[in-house]
Amino acid sequence: MKLLYLSILLLCSGCDKSPISSEDLEDTATETETLRFSDGDSIDVLNKEVKGEKEDFDSFFPKFSSDSTFQLSRVEFPYKIILVEDEGTVTRYLGKKDWSYVDFSQMQVGKHHLEKKEESNNTVTVLYTLEDTGVYISYKFNKKQGKWMLTSMEDSST
């Protein structure tokens, strides 16, 4: 009954927009989401990014810093960790199951400092330092398929 009512409602409401051409779909990211109803029916909904709209790092970073689920979805795994030590450089990789949420918002209080360095349109490095301690960590973000991703971390602390 719900499906019949929904069908009638959709037919009556109509659509006043012209069909989407293949040109409108070029260079856009798409994602399909399945909505499930309590009676077992489901429909697929296409979420289309607005053409030409690109994710801005300054809009992305606050959400990345404060939302652990979003953060996990925006880390590239295996996550590359570079440790610069007196004996040389050691590179390790971290799997998704070993990831721990990094609260960047707490890295901007007191003696903690974050500094953003734009290396290019698609690469940003966020530098974390802790005053008077020798802590110096850089987090590298790269834009991949229109989305900012945390790709590596380099710890050059002394």
Quick: pLDDT tens for 34-81.
544 444 544 544 444 434 458 999 999 999 999 999 999 999 999 999
Mean pLDDT of the chain: 77
CB 154 within 8 A of CB 141: no
Mean pLDDT confidence for 116-127:
97
Spatial distance between the Cα atoms of 77 and 74, rounded to a whole number of angstroms: 9
Q: How far apart are CA 19 and CA 17, in angstroms?
A: 7
pLDDT of residue 17: 39
Report pLDDT for 110. 86
Q: What is the pLDDT at residue 46?
A: 43
Banded pLDDT at 120 (limits 50, 70, 90): very high
From 3.50.50.60, 3.30.9.10, 3.40.50.300, 3.10.450.410, which CATH number describes the 57-155 domain? 3.10.450.410
More confident residue, 27 or 85: 85
What would the two tokens of residue 18 be? 């012209």
Angle at alpha carbon of residue 91, lines to 87 and 94, rounded to 5°: 140
Q: What is the dihedral of CA 33, 34, 36, 40, to 10 degrees?
A: 180
In this prediction the pTM is: 0.66
3-state helix, strand and coil shares in percent for the chain, rounded to the nearest 5: 25, 45, 30
What's the pLDDT at 108?
A: 82
